[in-house]
Amino acid sequence: MNLERLHGIIPPILTPLTDEEEVDHASLRRLVTYLLDQGVHGIWVTGTTGEFPCFDQAEREAIVRTVVETVGGRVPVIAGIGDASTRLAIQHGRAAWRAGADAVALTAPYYYVNSQEELLDHFRAVRAAVDLPLMVYNIPQNVKTRLETSTVLTLAREGTVIGIKDSQNDLDWFRQVMTAAREEGLAFRGFLGTRILIDAGLVAGAHGAIPGISNVAAADCVGAYAAARRGDWEAADRHTRRIIALQQIVGIARGSPTSSSFSGMKAVLKALGVIATARVRRPLRTVSAEEEARIAAAIATLDLPAFRTAVPMHSE
């Protein structure tokens, strides 16, 4: 793929569910359309924010296919294919290829703590078996294994990977990778997974950001990115303050940081008329009716864009 297409704000899209915890493909199509209408530069599907560990292979493939069909080639679609073993990741990668993804993203395997040599073998084997550009998804707080800068750069030098999403909130580590890649002239794209360091990420060498909050703050995330690109740091900060305010509203929900964030964002989108429910798949906790009402009341103060495109809420 043309790596120049990989830039900007790429929301790691939520996976809307019905009240029975089944994938709500109609709401998913509406969410994709909603994000595209706000100018996002790509869609990251079946990632952490998309609850990927909670879905089986067939569900994950169907989710990717719905996103790809709705996007219709307007922006790149990157599918997360992480799992606990190389073989399972390859299966997800081939499913993403069948579904039409433009690229795939791979975490370190989770459960076992793998060595750097095992990680090199993991990424190389998946890339050899899946005919799609491969990105590193570095999220050690979830998978228990931290990729070393030397491991990422080795994969980049040999052409195994084309980029990285780094979600560990370590700008020092990220800058080391991006500086080395730039100095060596590597074709390598870097993105942060942080919510509120979009502008700082560009200073550190990022080509954009993949923040979960962009599901509900896409316009401000795009605004912060565009302002930072043109060096307007005051405007970038204004957008970032709105993102922080929205993050605080999402945090009204109680429970674990993961479940409250995902279900809280879904509650925002439900209030905006984008998706049908705030449901997350168990054991993640769905916001209560009282929390959902408080979130709906709070977002009324932020003047967020409502859903305006004619896409049905429910499948025919």
User: How confident is the model over 247-276, as pLDDT tens digits?
Assistant: 999 987 666 555 568 999 999 999 999 999
Q: Which of 111, 112, 144, 309 is catalytic?
A: 111
Domain for residue 170, yes or no? yes
Strand duo 134-138 + 163-166: pairing: parallel
**Residue 289 Cα to chain centre, angstroms:** 27
Task: Tell me the per-residue pLDDT of 73-132, one tens digit each, with 9 for 90 and over.
Answer: 999 999 999 999 999 999 999 999 999 999 999 999 999 999 999 999 999 999 999 999
Active site residue 137: yes
Per the structure, how many domains does the chain have? 1
Domain for residue 259, yes or no? no
Report yes or no: 123 and 134 within 8 Å, Cβ to Cβ. yes
C-alpha–C-alpha distance, residues 210 and 188, integer Å: 16
Q: What is the DSSP letter of 134?
A: E
Domain for residue 293, yes or no? no
Q: Which of 15, 34, 46, 48 is catalytic?
A: 48
Q: Which of 34, 70, 137, 270 is catalytic?
A: 137
Domain for residue 302, yes or no? no
Q: What is the model's pTM?
A: 0.95
E strand segments, the chain:
8-9, 43-45, 77-80, 103-106, 134-138, 163-166, 189-192, 208-209
Domain for residue 178, yes or no? yes
Query: Which of 273, 301, 303, 278 is CA-nearest to residue 289?
Result: 278
Domain for residue 298, yes or no? no
Active site residue 48: yes
Q: What CATH number is given to the structural domain containing 158?
A: 3.20.20.70
pLDDT band for position 316 (cuts 50, 70, 90): very low
Domain for residue 275, yes or no? no
Domain for residue 41, yes or no? yes
User: The domain containing residue 213 runs over which residues?
Assistant: 3-231
C-alpha–C-alpha distance, residues 94 and 53, integer Å: 17
Q: Which of 86, 145, 165, 286 is catalytic?
A: 165
